Amino acid sequence: MAKVWQKNSEKLNPIIEKFEVGLDYLYDSKLFKYEIASSIAHSLQLEKIGILTKEEANDIVKTLKGLYKKYGNYFPLSQEDEDIHSKVESLLTQELGDIGKKIHTGRSRNDQVITIVRLFEKEEILITTLSYLELLEGFIKLAEIEGDKILPGYTHTKQAMLINVRFWLTGFIELGLDNIRLIKSIYELIDSNPLGSGSGFGVPLELDRDYTAKLLGFSRVQTSPMAVQNSRGKYESLIVDAFWNVMNDFSRMASDLLTFNMDELLFVKTTDAITTGSSIMPQKKNFDVMELIRAKANVILAYSQGIKSIINGLISGYNRDTQEIKELLIKSFVIVKDSINALKVVIENVSFDQDAVLEKLSKGIFATELAYKLVKEGMSFRDAYKEAAQKIENINITHSLAAESLKIRVSEGSPLTINLRKYKSMVEKEKKYFNDLYKQFTEKLSDLLE
């Protein structure tokens, strides 16, 4: 296929073509829906400013909608197609002749790619975040069922103070809500229309960028063409960073559960639905889904660093270096969504064994409460600290002692002060917010595509 930029019969060396296209065409295939939507919005704008007649715009829009109806969300590109933008323009030209050649008026592949990636990012953020909120609801449900069971809390990997399952899970729920706030701020940041910024220097036409922003569902225009180009990679690193924070929480939960599930402890019980076996050791029930989640958190961290490394020090304006970002971005969303879905299954297939915990508790885990008991009797904390260290070996560990240890801790956030209804309400509020955004986004795209 002739390239849209080809000016004569001389062809690009096939080795160079293969190297430059790389795997990008495979990822562009996944962005077909957004290319069609942005091309329809651009065509309607060209009609609005008088570049296309009404009849020409109608022909283009009809053809674009026909392509979407035929192929759906995915268009199978080949390496020779180079990218989705060139392929759609080629298909339009094949169908409409000279009218199809007008579609590129007022735009560049530089702003095209940022526009469709931005639309992809918006939808993927919303889908991923809604799934994540469902997982947080799952954490709350598990806390309601298993929450009163005791666990040891650790510092320096040594038993420190007694907690319960509700306390342990609430830490992840609250950090999850922090992650949601971060994701929300990044979504608001990227919700700006890059279409119409051209190659990065403006266009000699009076484009109506507010109009295309409205059609595509962007809340505002990203005004500066230079900012549009320089934001590529910057915005993607922020997105991947935000979801690394999610994965980082998952990795800590994974390490906790793997530790709790060690044969030496068995604080956590698992079902066969979430464990695998060994090809040689018949007794093995490996909780390796959590090992993979922990590993994938590091993969996301590497992708985030990879994006930053690609853009660091680039000269302002478009650079093809940024082509390499797309793969890292798309793979990041896949990994995060898969990890969320895996964890949804995990939390439905674990339970906690309070008797196993009690058997493994050290006497020292009750030392802090003993010290504060002496403080309440009038002793200075430092003297109480020393006396508790001497007396702690004389105690007998029982269920009633464990219950008392939790009961006397009354500061806000302590194990028995946690109000799960508060967290449930916060999660429900965020779900409504993101559901509303997702509905608005899908309605805008449907208006263009259908």
Q: From CA 59, how far away is CA 76, in angstroms rounded? A: 24
For 138, 165, 380, the CA distances from 407, given in Å and listed in that order, are 26, 15, 22
Q: What is the pLDDT of residue 272?
A: 96
pLDDT value at 270 more than 90 = yes
Q: What are residue 286's DSSP bridge partners? A: 276
Catalytic annotation, pick one of 185, 219, 224, 278: 278
Segment 317-349, tens digit of pLDDT: 999 999 999 999 999 999 999 999 999 999 999
Upper half-sphere CA count for residue 145 (Cβ side, 13 Å) = 13
Q: What is the pLDDT of residue 10?
A: 77
Segment 182-226, tens digit of pLDDT: 999 999 999 999 999 999 999 999 999 999 999 999 999 999 999
Segment 30-77, tens digit of pLDDT: 999 999 999 999 999 999 999 999 999 999 999 999 999 999 999 999
pLDDT value at 425 more than 90 = yes
pLDDT band for position 81 (cuts 50, 70, 90):
confident
Nearest CA to 261 out of 305, 220, 291 is that of: 291
For 238, 354, 386, 431, the CA distances from 364, given in Å and listed in that order, are 43, 18, 13, 42
Q: What is the pLDDT of residue 3?
A: 65
Contact in structure between 105 and 205 (CB atoms under 8 Å): yes
Q: What is the pLDDT of residue 76?
A: 93
Task: Give Cβ neighbours of residue 131 (< 8 Å, ≥ 6 apart).
Answer: 337, 340, 341
Catalytic annotation, pick one of 156, 279, 400, 411: 156
Does 156 participate in catalysis according to the annotation? yes
pLDDT mean over 376-380:
92
Q: What is the pLDDT of residue 5?
A: 59
Q: Got the DSSP string for 226-264?
A: HHHHHHTTHHHHHHHHHHHHHHHHHHHHHHHHHHHTSTT
Contact in structure between 193 and 222 (CB atoms under 8 Å): yes
Segment 287-302, tens digit of pLDDT: 999 999 999 999 999 9
Pairing of strands 192-193, 220-221: parallel
pLDDT band for position 1 (cuts 50, 70, 90):
low
* Coarse DSSP helix, strand, coil percentages of the chain, rounded to the nearest 5 percent: 70, 5, 25
Q: From CA 371, how far away is CA 373, in angstroms rounded? A: 5
Question: Mean pLDDT for the chain?
Answer: 95
CA 409 and chain centroid, separation: 36
**Domains annotated on the chain, with CATH:** 14-105 (1.10.275.10), 117-198+221-358+419-445 (1.20.200.10)
User: What tokens appear for 153 in the block?
Assistant: 């809390």
Q: What is the pLDDT of residue 80?
A: 86
Pairing of strands 158-164, 150-155: antiparallel
Does 304 participate in catalysis according to the annotation? no
